[in-house]
Structure 1
Amino acid sequence: MTDQTAVIADDHALIRQGLRQILTSAGIEVVAEASDGLEAIAMIRSHQPALLTLDIAMPYSRGIEVFGEARRWSPETRIIVFSGMTSTGLLSALASAGADAIFLKREELETFSEAIPKVMSGQRILGPGVRELLESTSNIDMLTARERQILSLVAQGLNNREIGERLGVSTKTVDNHRTNLMRKVNVHSVAELLALALREGLLDASRET
């Protein structure tokens, strides 16, 4: 691994251009750019850069998968993740997996620019938007496995009767679980429950099953 090199992985050309300018200004040589997940993995294996900037949502291979492959093939590479998604579950998973920095795409580029030398020196950074999301996270971790299952099925658009048939329980049992989970996460309507499911990434997960 050569000092002060970087690979940029993002499927938007304008974002890659902006990141290249920032990295170059910071004295970091951009040795490759990738526009999809598979290309990103190949560039990481080939160059083993000091730094990877990673879009968490790219074609062909999801960012979380690219993150794992980057850690596998180039464990010393520092990884800065950019996310357009605000799922606290995803952001928490990335932080727990050892991302060196995590930023929301909506945050100011100056925030990212100021973080580069800190990341390169070994500090771990969370962007202001990410910190806010994680600090104000819901009580979803308090839900039981059954309550999480019902929340996911609600996110798919199933009503209590349909959920009961799917799980082999009574409609009354489903209603009790639903009432309990809404109380735990402090929401008071189906619309708020769906917003929670979207924020936690459960809507995306339901589409994949």
Structure 2
Amino acid sequence: MNPTIIIADDHPLVLKGLHDFLIEKEFNVLASAKNGKEALTLIKAHNPDIAILDIKMPFYTGLEIAEKCKKDQLSTKIVLITFEKDEKTYYDAKALGIYGYVLKEFALVEIENCISSVLKDTPYFSPELLKFLELHELPKHFESLTNHEKGIVKLISQNKTGVEIADLLAISPRTVEKHKSNIIKKLKLESKQNSLLIWAKENSNLFDS
């Protein structure tokens, strides 16, 4: 199947390069847009299989377009191209169910793989990006902790005892123990002695700020 594609980028050279490359590879490029507003209009008009969008564009960013498409339940699969190796953008993209995230410096090398992956219903993220983000990957289940619980883990990582933590937070030592056992459950740690202390020490970099 030859998918229908719309592309959008506010850099004329990038847009032309991508357009010419896709045409040369015999992809069915319906149209190209120079900004987010044009891109959204084209997606609504043509309902293409895939929209390849720059993240930063005038009027709407690639992420904002993805959000609008999701809200309107459009079936177009969104692929973002960007220079940004940015954790927040990556997680925002994942949360919006975006199908591809390709770094611009590798766009021409990767876009074919990305399109064929997307057609198989498999999201594609630039290997370079994933390699970069691995260094910053949050440990599993960390986000399920409340801010209060994160504060307790931070104090544990600083070798504070239950009694000291109770004093600092003006709560009873019993409440601290209750919090600890909830945190252990949430982080799915083994219920052996010091498992939380070991985890807190290993991940103390999360609490540097």
TM-score (norm 2): 0.63
Whichever of the two has the greater Rg, that structure is 2
Residues 37-186 of structure 1 aligned to structure 2 (within 5 Å):
37-73=36-72, 75-137=74-136, 139=138, 184-185=205-206
Give the percent of matched residue pairs that are identical in Structure 1 and Structure 2: 26
Q: Which amino acid counterpart does residue 184 of structure 1 have in structure 2? A: N
Q: Distance in 2 between matches of 1:73 and 1:121?
A: 23
Deviation at 1:108, TM superposition (A): 4.9
5+ residue gaps, structure 1, are: 147-182, 188-192, 194-209
Question: Is contact 1:6-1:51 (8 Å) kept?
Answer: yes
Q: Which runs of 4+ in 1 moved over 4 A?
A: 138-146
Q: Which amino acid counterpart does residue 205 of structure 2 have in structure 1? A: K
Q: Is 2:42 aligned against 1:12?
A: no
Question: Is contact 1:81-1:102 (8 Å) kept?
Answer: yes
- Which SS does the other structure have where 1:98 is aligned? coil
- Which SS does the other structure have where 1:107 is aligned? helix
Question: Is contact 1:33-1:40 (8 Å) kept?
Answer: yes
For residues 18-39 of structure 1, the C-alpha deviation after alignment (integer angstroms, 9 at most, x for no partner) is: 2112322343221111111111
Instruction: Please give the root-mean-square deviation of Cα atoms over the aligned residues, in Å.
Output: 3.1
Structure with the bigger RCO (C-alpha within 8 Å, sep 6+) is 1
Q: Which amino acid counterpart does residue 137 of structure 1 have in structure 2? A: H
Count residues with an aligned counterpart: 156
Say if 1:109 and 1:3 are closer, same or farther in 2 by CA, change over 3 A.
closer
For residues 177-200 of structure 1, the C-alpha deviation after alignment (integer angstroms, 9 at most, x for no partner) is: xxxxxx63486xxxxx7xxxxxxx
Q: Distance in 1 between matches of 2:74 and 2:2?
A: 14
Deviation at 1:102, TM superposition (A): 0.7
Q: Distance in 2 between matches of 1:22 and 1:104?
A: 16
Higher mean alpha-carbon deviation, 107-116 vs 134-143, is at 134-143
For residues 2-32 of structure 1, the C-alpha deviation after alignment (integer angstroms, 9 at most, x for no partner) is: 9621111110111111211232234322111
Q: Distance in 2 between matches of 1:49 and 1:92?
A: 25
TM-score (norm 1): 0.63
Question: Is contact 1:45-1:73 (8 Å) kept?
Answer: no
Deviation at 1:54, TM superposition (A): 0.8
Q: Distance in 2 between matches of 1:39 and 1:117?
A: 25
Q: Distance in 1 between matches of 2:83 and 2:64?
A: 16
Say if 1:74 and 1:22 are closer, same or farther in 2 by CA, change over 3 A.
farther
